[in-house]
Chains A and B, each alone.
With several copies, the nearest count.
Chain A
Amino acid sequence: MLHFVDSVQEAVVGIKDGSTVMIGGFGNAGQPFELIDALLECGAKDLTVVNNNAGQGDQGLALLIKEGRVRKMICSFPRQSDSWHFDAKYKAGEIELELVPQGNLAERIRAAGAGIGGFFTPTGYGTMLAEGKETRIIDGRGQVFETPIHADVALIKALKADGKGNLVYRKTARNFGPIMAAAAKHTIAQVTEIVPVGGLDPENVVTPGIYVNTIVTVAGSGQSSSTAGKVA
């Protein structure tokens, strides 16, 4: 069932300790900052977080890590010039890291949403990141067996939702939103604007409403509201 809620606090209220939480975004584009802040506020801990990175600077996911709420990160690129909170926890042995090539991360998330039990890919074959994994040669190429990444909750950001929960995104802020929405049991989307049913062209819907459970409007929440009109 789809719910429209009035605040980000209300949106995250069901997230439990020990949950696996997917968080959309690549860099700042598509990061649901307000939902992450609400998650921090609600106090859920022992989280496994799936994101491309492991937090930047002193905001969002970085704070969640700093506060010790994240037991494990599944990501492709934790190390950045401003990933100091992750770096500190990692060096102190206080956070677990599952490092996944970015395309395997995307494909494993997609597999979870699509009901695929696992797949073989050439990416990572012969490297450290395939150590301990099943491999086989298919059509002459070495391939690694990768498994789906399911989640309890996804926090994503989109540009607009309609009354059926259909979503459209904006430019490269689309990134992980559509596949995380499909991979999580419960998807929470923050959007800049909610339009009536019929307000999105059915040809242009990116995430069908079947993948969305909770929607909250965050006024001017990135997906640059100033230029959003160009996209509609």
Chain B
Amino acid sequence: MARDIAPGSFVNLGIGQPTLVSNYLTEEQNITLHTENGMLGMGPEAKGGEIDEDLINAGKIPVTELPGASYFHHADSFAIMRGGHLDICVLGAFQVSATGDLANWHTGAPGAIPAVGGAMDLATGAKDVFVMMTLLTREGASKIVESCTYPITGVGCVTRVYTDKGVFLTGPDGVTVRETFGCTLEELQELIPVPLKAAAAVGLQDQGAP
């Protein structure tokens, strides 16, 4: 995924797994990371003496500041997200529907305490929403679904899904397989309960923004 991020992009990496993407970004890509608690130009996780309790990311983990960073308050920070200024955000998910509905904030289980944070703002606001997840649940069910059974985070917002078995484009036209990892399109189709289309061989890199 890291290599699919265009040079010069402004990117928000969600809490958890997506944060790891930063380890694969190269200096030449000149990516600027946003953290919704009020910063552009976030650097890697802080270690040892670098740790500063006033400098944390959205996951409340101490981070560092890169040259050219800037700080702003919460309304200004979410204005960046909600105003459509982020090129990409990368999020985890419970489920993604064929048309790009995202479910990643709430299991909906009775008694579960709901918590949403900035997930809905990222899902709705970023130009491209990339999801990172395993294709299957522990029970073997596809997380790419006809329509989400978990409470949704945003309608039709996901543009790409990166999984262990393949990379998918989602949107108004349904699901297109862009890349497979160690399996065929037919094998994927057996796992996923929605019709899959194969991407045309050319122009794949341009299909991110529907």
Contact = CB atoms under 8 A, between A and B. Distances in A.
A145 B43 CA distance: 36
Interface string B1-42: 000000110100000000000000000000010111111110
Interface residues of A, number: 74
A29 B10 CA distance: 24
Interface string A92-118: 000001011111111101101111100
Given A77-B115, A87-B113, A198-B67, A164 B41 contact: yes
B151 interface: yes
Contacts of A229: none
Given A79-B114, A79-B115, A102-B116, A115 B32 contact: no
A107 B73 contact: no
Which of B57, B75, B83 has most chain A Cβ within 10 Å? B75
Contact of B55 (A172, A197, A211): A172
B73 A175 contact: yes
B36 A115 contact: no
B120 A124 contact: yes
Interface residues of B, number: 57
Contact of A172 (B56, B86, B125): B56
Interface in B70-112: 70-75, 77-86, 106, 111
B133 interface: no
A208 B120 contact: no
Interface string B47-75: 00000111111001000010111111111
A103 B82 CA distance: 8
Interface in A1-38: 1-2, 26-30
A147 interface: no
Given A27-B60, A178-B73, A107 B78 contact: yes
A172 B75 contact: no
B155 A210 contact: no
Contact of A129 (B70, B84, B116): B116
Which of A2, A107, A115, A166 has most chain B Cβ within 10 Å? A115
A67 to B, nearest CB: 20
Given A29-B55, A106-B77, A224-B52, 19 more contacts: A27-B60, A30-B54, A76-B115, A78-B115, A79-B113, A97-B113, A101-B116, A124-B124, A125-B154, A125-B155, A129-B120, A164-B68, A166-B70, A171-B71, A176-B74, A179-B73, A202-B39, A210-B32, A222-B54
